[in-house]
Chains A and B, each alone.
Chain A
C-alpha cells in the first residue's frame, strides 16, 4: 500500500517536473489534466474499460515528458523562443546578459582593462610596495631615477628587505636568422623577478649574461610556433642576451611590458644616472606604521632638501578599480532617492494568489537586473578608464565620472521597469489608458491604467498622489476575466 502511495506521489512529481517544459499559458490546464488522469488511474482504474492492463502511475507519468515537449515545440514554432518574446522578463534579462557579455569581450580585447580589472597573478603581495614621488600613486610614467635607486640600495636597508628597479625602454631585438622586432622592454635589476616572486629558470644563479624574459604569447607571436626555448639567444644593442620564458600564468607583471631584461649591477650603472624608472620593494613590517589607504610615506633628506615619496601597496593598487567603482556605486545609491521614487507600488494579497513563489520571483528578477546592470557598468567603465592606458588619476577620474551617471540612470530604469511589469508573469504591462478627470478628484482618482495581456490584473497609477491613493496600485483579476485579454485564453479547469 505504501509502495502504491509512493508511486502516486512520484508520478505527480514527474508531471510537475514535465510541466516546466509546457508554455506558461497552458501549464495550469495541462497539469490539471495529467493530475486528474493519474488520480483516476490510481483510484478507480478498475472501473475503466479495460482492453489492456493498466500501466503503473510511474510508467504512465513518463508520457508527460514527450507531451510537454511537443507543446513547447509547437509554441516555439508559433511564437519563437520563450525568452525573446517582446516584453517578457527573459528578454529583458537576456538583453542585459548580452550587454554584460559584450562588456567582458571588450575588457578582454583591451589589455590595459584586462590587467586592471582582473587581479594580478602575483603572489605574496601584502608587503610589496611601489615607490613613487609623492602624489603620483598609480602613475604610468616613471618617477624614480637610477641615482635614487642606487642610493636607496644601501640607505634603506632598515625599511626594505628587498629593492628592485626597472627602466622602461623600446629596444630592437634581433632574433635567430636575422629577424628583428621592436619590443617594449623593462631593463631591470637582476633581483626584479625574485622580488615579484615570479620563478624563472636560473633566477638565483649569478648572471653570466643578461637574460631577456619574455611572456609566452609574445614569444609565440614572434616565432609563429610553439618551439622549445632552450638555449635561445637574441641580440640587443649588439649585446647577446639569453631568452627565458615566463611561466604561462605569470604574464601579468606591472605596466604590461612585453619583455624584461635582467642585467647585473655593472650594466645597470652604465645607464645615465638621471634615467627614470619604477622602483618596487618588500617592506619590513617593523619599519612602517600600518598603511593608510594603502599608502605609506617615506622622507629622504638630501643635502638639506627633503623629498617625499609614496610607498603604495601593490595590493591596494590591484583593488583600485574595484574600490573606485564601489565609491561610484555608493554615490549613485545616495543620489537615487533624489531622482526617482523608491517604492515599487502596492501589491495586495488578493484571493491568495500573491503566494510566496510569485513574490520571490518578482524580487529575484529585480535583483538579477540590478546585478547584471552593475556588472555591465563595472566592465564597461573599467574598459573605458583603464583600456586606453590613460593611467593614474586620469583613469580613476574617468572611471568614477562614467560609472556614477550610468549607475544612477541604470538603477532608475530598473525601478521604473519593475513598476511597469505584471507581478505575476513579469511581462511588461501594455495599453496605457487615461482614466478619470483631474477636476473630479475628490475621493476618486485620475491617472493611467495599464493591463497585463495575460489578464492577471490592472495597474492604476495616480496622476496626483493623494492621501487615499498615494502610490500605484495593482488590482488582481481572477481567471474568469482572462478570456477578455489577448494572451489569457488558455483553458483551465477553473474556467468551466
Chain B
C-alpha cells in the first residue's frame, strides 16, 4: 500500500473555485468519460451554469485501438449544444500521458469548430507523452508507471480517490 492520500472532495472544491474565472459568455463544460463527466455534472450545478454539461468519450479516436480493440463499455459522446464557435472547457479527473486528451479533442472537432478549448483537471500525475498542459489542476502528484489513480463517486455524489495497480 501507499501512503499517498488525496482528499478528492477538498480537491474538487479547489477545482470549482479555479474553474469559475475560466468561464466566459458562451462557455460550455465537457467532461471526459467517466470521471470527468461526473466532475462536469457537479460543476454545472455548483457553478449554477445554465443548460446541460457535455460528455465526451475517447473510444473512437484512441491511438491504442490496434492493441486494445473496442472497449466493452458504451461510453458514448453526448454534446447537448452547438460546438461551433463555443468556448469549451474540458474537464478530466486524472491527467497522465495526454493521449486521452488528444483523442477527445479530435472527437470534439467532429462536431464543429470550437472558438477555444481549455483543459482543467482534478489531478495532474505527470508522465506526459504529448505536448498537452492543463490550465488548472487542483493537485500534482508523482506515481509509479504501473499505478492507476481512479476517481469513484458514491451514491450521495461524493468523490474519493483509489490507488490501484494496473494489470
- Are A and B interaction partners? no
